[in-house]
Each structure stands twice: as structure tokens, then as C-alpha cells.
């Protein structure tokens, strides 16, 4: 359904994984896409995929932890495209480089997850909010995680950052409602993405597993924790994002929606 025709969407962290899935689904639904990522080569590759659907695409390098960088992103988009309608704050990390090789999160892991997963949302939203407020229109969709619904032992730094992302989303929803801007949050469950590959490898190393592969560790987790018995995909997240970006969700704001096959029911 081309329900997002003539819409312009910015997706951060769109060079791979969930962000890539969101960018491609929004393009299939009719939107032109700004593919933002710290890895410009990855962003360009996804932009080429978007163009294969007959939609315009702009690849922009941006570091969401740096407000000057997100301001530059906003300036580039508004100058080159004239406006935006949809902002998807997807960029996220599991910790500082090498986090999957540590049995417990380091201080650097706590700092990195907060900087990207929380401050990244704040920076990027703040860079675009004046433009959206002046237009009195817009959809902001933040990607959190089912991990933000409850604490986890050895992965507390990540869970805490995603819980904060949910709370920040509610704060922006209250702040921007008067400008007719909807702000919502998606909480995905188990997806086999580059991030989850590292989580599975971390769990494998931590448990001393020497037989199973990371994918098999992931499949075991899926079997024991997900009532529907099937993994979620980046495309699934993209479809929910497309709904939240459309007029069908015009009275939904400040919500955090689980997309997890039933692993968390709240």
C-alpha cells in the first residue's frame, strides 16, 4: 500500500539490521528515505536498495552522540529535500567496542549504550523538532527493546538504556503533542541482526558453550522464550513503523508497543 506517498522519512542507524528493514519497508509504502548511519558506505548501499523501489534516497553520515552532527544532518535534509515528515530514531549499540567478549559490562559499556541509545534519540529529535513544530505535523518513532521492559542480569547496561529510551519517548510525546506531532516507541523482541549475532556470541562464550553456534544459541532462546515460536524480522519492525507513520495511527502517541511474539505481555 502506497500510504506514505510524498512523505520524507529520516531513519538513523539505517545501514544494517532493523534500520535497514525500516528504511526499505517505508520506501515500499511510498516514502522517500534519508538513510543516516555512522558508516556512510553502508548507508549508500541501503540508499541504492531504496532507489530500486523507484523512491528517492539520500545517504548521510551522522553520529547521533554528537549534537553538531545531528544538527548537520537536519540542515542537510531540510536544505536538500525541503522538509521531513517522519523521523525514526533507530541507531543503537550493545556496548563499547568488544562488549560481546566481556562477561560483565564495563563502565565504557554503560557510557556507550547511554550515549547512543538515549542521548542519540535526544540529539536527533532536538535537531528536527523546531522544523516539525513549525510545520505542526510529524511522526517520531523510537526503537527501544523488550529488554527495556525489565532488568537483565549481565546485560543491565543495555536494558537500562532501552528503559530510558521508552521514558524519553513519553517525555517528547507530551512536549510535542501541542504541535500535532506523534511520538511512539517500538520494543522488538528476538531478531537475528548484527547486534543479536554479538549477543548470541557473548552468551555462548559466557556459558562456555563449545558445540553450538551463535545462531543455535539464538534459536534455543527463541524456543524457550517466545510463545509464537518464531523470530521477529527487521521487516516486521518496518511494518509497525509504517503503521505508526501513517494516518491510521493519528491518535496514538506516547505508547511503547511490543513486537516480540509474546515473550513480554505488558
Q: What is the pLDDT of residue 221?
A: 87
- pLDDT, one tens digit per residue, over 168-177 is 999 999 999 9
Q: What is the pLDDT of residue 58?
A: 98
Please give the C-alpha separations between residue 158 and each of 44, 145, 162, 169, 229, in angstroms, as whole numbers.
Answer: 28, 9, 6, 17, 24
- Whether the per-residue pLDDT at 116 is higher than 80: the answer is yes
Q: What is the pLDDT of residue 1?
A: 62
User: Is residue 214, in this structure, part of any structural domain at all?
Assistant: no
User: Is residue 2, in this structure, part of any structural domain at all?
Assistant: no
- Whether the per-residue pLDDT at 260 is higher than 70: the answer is yes
User: Is residue 220, in this structure, part of any structural domain at all?
Assistant: no
| Residue found by looking up cell 502506497 in the block | 2
User: Is residue 265, in this structure, part of any structural domain at all?
Assistant: no
User: Is residue 211, in this structure, part of any structural domain at all?
Assistant: no
- Whether the per-residue pLDDT at 209 is higher than 80: the answer is no
Q: How remote is the C-alpha of 211 from its chain's centroid? A: 32
Domain range holding 146? Answer: 8-191+233-259
Is 264 annotated in the active site? no
Q: How many domains does the chain have?
A: 1
Q: Which one of the listed residues 155, 158, 192, 218 is annotated catalytic?
A: 158
- pLDDT, one tens digit per residue, over 126-141 is 999 999 999 999 999 9
More confident residue, 212 or 239: 239
**pLDDT confidence bin for 262, thresholds 50/70/90:** very high
User: Is residue 53, in this structure, part of any structural domain at all?
Assistant: yes
User: Is residue 22, in this structure, part of any structural domain at all?
Assistant: yes
Which positions ≥6 away from 4 have C-beta within 8 Å?
A: 26, 29, 30, 31, 86, 242, 245, 246
User: Is residue 199, in this structure, part of any structural domain at all?
Assistant: no
Q: What is the pLDDT of residue 205?
A: 78
Lowest mean pLDDT among 73-82, 112-121, 224-233: 224-233
- pLDDT, one tens digit per residue, over 184-200 is 999 999 999 888 888 88
Mean pLDDT over each residue of the chain, to the nearest integer:
94
More confident residue, 97 or 266: 97
- Whether the per-residue pLDDT at 265 is higher than 90: the answer is no
| CATH number assigned to the domain comprising residue 76 | 3.40.50.720
- pLDDT, one tens digit per residue, over 19-54 is 999 999 999 999 999 999 999 999 999 999 999 999
Model-level pTM?
A: 0.95
Q: What is the pLDDT of residue 52?
A: 96
The number of beta carbons lying within 10 Å of the beta carbon of residue 175 is: 14
Q: Distance between the two ends of the chain, CA-based, in angstroms?
A: 30
Which residues are paired to 142 by β-bridges?
A: 89, 185
Amino acid at each position: 500500500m502506497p500510504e506514505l506517498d510524498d512523505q520524507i522519512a529520516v531513519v538513523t542507524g539505517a545501514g544494517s539490521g532493523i534500520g535497514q528493514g525500516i528504511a526499505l519497508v517505508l520506501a515500499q509504502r511510498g516514502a522517500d528515505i534519508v538513510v543516516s548511519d555512522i558508516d556512510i558506505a553502508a548507508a549508500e548501499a541501503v540508499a541504492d536498495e531504496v532507489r530500486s523501489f523507484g523512491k528517492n534516497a539520500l545517504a548521510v553520515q551522522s553520529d547521533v552522540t554528537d549534537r553538531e552532527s545531528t544538527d548537520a544532518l537536519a540542515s542537510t535534509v531540510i536544505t536538500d529535500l525541503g522538509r521531513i515528515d517522519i523521523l525514526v530514531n533507530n541507531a543503537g549499540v550493545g556496548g563499547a567496542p568488544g562488549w560481546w567478549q566481556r562477561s560483565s559490562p564495563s563502565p565504557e559499556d554503560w557510557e556507550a549504550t547511554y550515549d547512543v541509545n538515549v542521548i542519540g534519540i535526544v540529539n536527533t529529535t532536538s535537531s528536527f523538532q523546531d522544523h516539525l513544530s513549525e510545520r505542526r505535523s510529524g511522526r517520531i518513532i523510537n526503537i527501544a527493546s523488550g529488554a527495556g521492559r525489565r532488568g537483565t542480569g549481565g546485560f543491565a547496561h543495555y536494558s537500562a538504556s532501552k528503559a530510558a529510551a521508552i521514558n524519553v519517548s513519553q517525555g517528547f510525546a507530551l512536549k510535542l503533542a501541542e504541535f500535532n506531532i506523534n511520538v511512539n516507541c517500538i520494543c522488538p523482541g528476538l531478531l537475528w541482526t548484527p547486534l543479536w549475532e554479538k549477543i548470541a556470541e557473548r552468551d555462548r562464550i559466557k556459558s562456555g558453550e563449545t558445540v553450538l553456534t551463535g545462531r543455535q544459541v539464538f534459536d534455543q532462546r527463541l524456543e524457550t522464550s517466545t510463545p509464537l515460536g518464531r523470530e521477529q524480522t527487521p521487516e516486521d519492525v518496518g511494518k509497525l513503523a509504517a503503521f505508526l507513520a501513517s494516518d491510521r495511527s493519528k491518535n496514538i502517541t506516547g505508547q511503547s508497543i511490543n513486537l516480540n511474539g509474546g515473550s513480554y505481555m505488558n
